[in-house]
Amino acid sequence: MDKLVTILITNQKRRILSSAWLIGVSLLLFHPSLHATSSIEQKIKVAYIYNFTKFITWPEYPGDSFNFCILGKDRFGSLFNSLESKTAFGMPIKLVRLQKLAPADHCHILFLGDRLETNIIKLAPYTGILTVSEKSQFVQHGGIIGFVIRNGKVKLQINMKRAEQAGLVISAKLLEIAELIGEDEDG
């Protein structure tokens, strides 16, 4: 009888442990913090973009707003919208969503959302535009600032040649935290 009770208790413990393990794995797989990683990454990128206004000097621009343009679809949604409550250089930030870029758009920052156009270099004539993207090889294709992930952290790549061509002056503080891409490395 004692042996039977021991076997029943052991089987019951196994079932409880198995159930607990399955519940634990399910909770882990569906826990919001796992999916929040991309949300946190997006928040960091938006914060970087806003802070670019504090560490980059643009050529003089006769306008009443600091224009942050998004070309194509973006996956940031309302996070970008939050920038409109802020100011840059004493001007309100204006969010402009574009499907095509035209010289009349007067963008200060141009975020290329879902596109990595190989003709990004053609944007250089639009002086004073800081081009930013999270697409792979963006800086090597002529963009100015690209977001990359290194060791699980959001990092920056900066193409100094393109920044200078656009008439942008990037502070040493921002350059210290970035991977610089020089003339010999960009395409």
pLDDT one-digit tens code per residue, 36-59: 457 899 999 999 999 999 999 999
Summary mean pLDDT of the chain = 78
- Out of 31-35, 149-153, 162-166, 173-177, least confident range: 31-35
Given this model, what pLDDT does residue 105 score? 73
What span, in angstroms and rounded, lies between the C-alpha atoms of 48 and 169? 16
What span, in angstroms and rounded, lies between the C-alpha atoms of 148 and 91? 29
- Residue 167 pLDDT class (50, 70, 90 cuts): very high
Confidence (pTM): 0.75
Closest-CA residue to 156 (of 187, 133, 122):
133
What span, in angstroms and rounded, lies between the C-alpha atoms of 173 and 177? 7
| Count of residues in the chain | 187
> Integer distance in angstroms from the first to the last C-alpha of the chain?
80
